[in-house]
Amino acid sequence: MKHLNKLPLLAALFMGVLLAADPVFSAAGDSLIVTSGNGSPGSSGETVEIILKNAAPLRGLIFNLHDTANSIEVTNVQSTAFSSHFTPHFTTTPAGAHKILFMSDGTATNKTLDAGRNAIMTVTFNVKPEAEGGTQALITIDSLTVARTASISEAYAKKNGNFWLGEKGDVIYTGTIDLFDVLRMINIVLNRQPAPTPYEQWAGDLDGNGTIDIVDILGALDLALVSTTSLGKALPEITADDFAFGSARFTASAIPAGASGTFDLPIHVANSVPLSGVQLSFRIPHASLDLGQADFVAGEQNMTVRSRRSGDRYDILLCSLDGKTIAMGETELLRIPVRVSGQLNQDVALEMISVKAASETGTAIKAFMGTDTPIAGGLPQSFKLYPNSPNPFNMSTKIVYDVPGTADGSVHVRLAIYNTQGQLVRTLEDRERTPGQYAVQWDGLNSQGKTVSSGIYFYQLQAGDVVLSNKLAVMK
């Protein structure tokens, strides 16, 4: 590569020789092509290739390269392996275009570019910091002159390249990939308004098959955890006005001093609007704590949970792939399996790094994180089924139960609702549980999804040979 002050003179000589002869037209389909690329505002070392498609050998070419958004600055032009016997020269014109001259290096042999379709040069550039992220620009070719001989120029077609000012996965373009990018992709797949912009369509199509689908969404879920963990960029500010659209407060119980073994740590939420997604990031404060994969427990929706530990950091992302929401109210949202391998001399709480919550439409709402008192009395010493609250109830009631430590480390638990005739109305829990206290919401629906009538019902906990029952009242 040579970036020379002599370029205007070389270009003038080159073009003078060519223009002295009558131009002829190249074969159909002969063209000079710019490949597509992408880069974020302020990034450096981005590249695109220039591809030559020619039916006959060529001795050189000269052209202007620029982008419609005036967002790039060329820093280098290099020959490829195919065109290593040619030397590129470039300069920037007063109008901001990048003029590139591509000629033989003057050796006695290899003075032409062989016919075919080949990448002939790589253009390296920086993206200007003031470029508008989340948009599309075109990298265009103009003023192209191509020479087949020293005296014959040819008319070639020109194909521009798309240049995306952003990164794959960063659909909403904030400089990082997070919950809101995932939710936007889900809404695009579900054909929810607004329609995707060209940039959103490109950024969300992670596998490059031309459409956003479930494979892309699952990939974005994983990228969001990695991006949150590794980039460390500032989170977008939520203004005071956002509070008017709803809020959510998340609390995690502290791990009591003296706790040992394996148990589930509950995360509770109190949200004033339905939630379409949640992203939580914690720092693990003690080396003896090992956190497993988080589990959604707030209801029967098809919620997808991704959790990841990296060093002393633990991240959770929760959303529904079919666009359903978490109902507003107060409930236990998640359970994190925790194994204590050492001795805790005092109560220990996960340290909150960041918390994000999205409303039903996928927009950010005000989110807070707090710490509950330690798990009451440490881990439960016996099975217990608490009175539901509220009781009587109309829309929803919470049922809490305790699971103590067992010889096997866990026990199969079944929690079900029955009518006064002993007929099964709805099964709320049917799963393995480790020691801990658990909370389950019943929304007054039966197993067919229909609202039950007013009256007295019973809820029953079965765990091994233990059976506990309580009475509740539905009032419509």
CATH of the domain at 441: 2.60.40.1930
The rounded distance, in Å, linking the Cα atoms of 395 and 439 is 16
Give yes or no: residues 222 and 244 share one domain: no
**Of the candidates 143, 165, 187, which is a domain's last residue?**
165
In a domain, 250, yes or no: yes
Closest CA to 22 of 117, 188, 196, 154: 154
Q: Does the CA dihedral 176-180-182-188 come out positive or negative?
A: negative
CATH number at residue 112: 2.60.40.680
pLDDT digits (tens, 9 = 90+) for 273-306: 899 999 999 999 888 889 989 988 876 567 899 9
Closest CA to 161 of 127, 143, 137: 137
* CB distance 259 to 297 below 8 Å: no
4 confidence band (pLDDT: 50, 70, 90): very low
In this predicted structure, the answer to whether residue 133 has a pLDDT above a threshold of 70 is yes
Give yes or no: residues 248 and 130 share one domain: no
In a domain, 36, yes or no: yes
- CA angle 359/365/366 to nearest 5° reads 145
In a domain, 173, yes or no: no
In a domain, 346, yes or no: yes
Range with the poorest average pLDDT among 2-11, 218-227, 330-339, 418-427: 2-11
- CA Rg value for the chain: 32
Tokens of 369: 């994180």
Phi, psi of 7 (to 5 degrees): -55, -45
Give yes or no: residues 332 and 410 share one domain: no
The rounded distance, in Å, linking the Cα atoms of 205 and 209 is 7
In this predicted structure, the answer to whether residue 474 has a pLDDT above a threshold of 60 is yes
Beta strands in 204-321 (DSSP E): 247-253, 261-271, 277-283, 289-291, 295-296, 303-310, 313-320
**Structural domain total, the chain:** 4
In a domain, 253, yes or no: yes
Q: How many CA atoms does the CB half-sphere of 230 hold within 13 Å?
A: 8
In a domain, 142, yes or no: yes
Q: 3-state DSSP call for residue 426?
A: strand
In this predicted structure, the answer to whether residue 244 has a pLDDT above a threshold of 60 is no
**Of the candidates 339, 372, 405, which is a domain's last residue?**
372
Give yes or no: residues 336 and 309 share one domain: yes
Give the strand order in the sheet containing 411-418: 424-433, 411-418, 455-463, 466-474
Give yes or no: residues 222 and 272 share one domain: no
Q: What's the gap between Cα 383 and its chain centre? A: 41
Q: Can you give the pLDDT at residue 150?
A: 62
Q: What's the gap between Cα 251 and its chain centre? A: 24
Q: Does the CA dihedral 426-430-434-435 come out positive or negative?
A: positive
In a domain, 435, yes or no: yes
Closest CA to 7 of 91, 103, 65, 85: 91
Kindly report the average pLDDT of the chain as a whole number.
Answer: 84
Q: Can you give the pLDDT at residue 7?
A: 52
> Residue with structure tokens 């989340």?
134
- Taking residue 476's Cβ as centre, other Cβ atoms within 10 Å add up to 11
The rounded distance, in Å, linking the Cα atoms of 455 and 419 is 9
Give yes or no: residues 153 and 19 share one domain: yes
* CB distance 317 to 224 below 8 Å: yes
Instruction: For residue 89, list its beta bridge partners.
Output: 2, 101
pLDDT digits (tens, 9 = 90+) for 192-241: 989 999 999 999 999 999 999 999 999 999 999 887 554 333 444 445 45
Helix axis angle for 179-189 and 214-230, nearest 10°, is 170
Give yes or no: residues 299 and 397 share one domain: no
Instruction: For residue 331, list its beta bridge partners.
Output: 269
Give yes or no: residues 152 and 202 share one domain: no
Question: Which residues have C-beta within 8 Å of that of residue 91, sequence separation ≥ 6?
Answer: 3, 4, 5, 7, 8, 98, 99
DSSP codes of every residue in 314-339: EEEEEEETT---BPSEEEEEEEEEEE
The more confident residue out of 126 and 381 is 126
Give yes or no: residues 16 and 108 share one domain: yes
Give yes or no: residues 214 and 248 share one domain: no
The rounded distance, in Å, linking the Cα atoms of 172 and 227 is 14
Contacts of range 302-308, beta carbons closer than 8 Å, 24 or more positions apart: 304/221, 305/334, 306/221, 306/222, 306/224, 306/225, 307/225, 307/336, 308/225, 308/226, 308/229
Give yes or no: residues 347 and 409 share one domain: no
Tokens of 242: 């956002």
Tokens of 180: 């809101």
Give yes or no: residues 128 and 195 share one domain: no
The rounded distance, in Å, linking the Cα atoms of 379 and 256 is 8
State percent of the chain over pLDDT 70: 85
* CB distance 299 to 318 below 8 Å: no
Residue 218 domain boundaries = 179-230
Q: Can you give the pLDDT at residue 26?
A: 52
23 confidence band (pLDDT: 50, 70, 90): very low
* CB distance 399 to 439 below 8 Å: yes
In a domain, 60, yes or no: yes
Runs of H (alpha helix) within 231-291: none
Q: Find the helix or strand (DSSP H, E) in which 219 lies.
A: helix 214-230
For the whole model, what pTM was predicted? 0.71
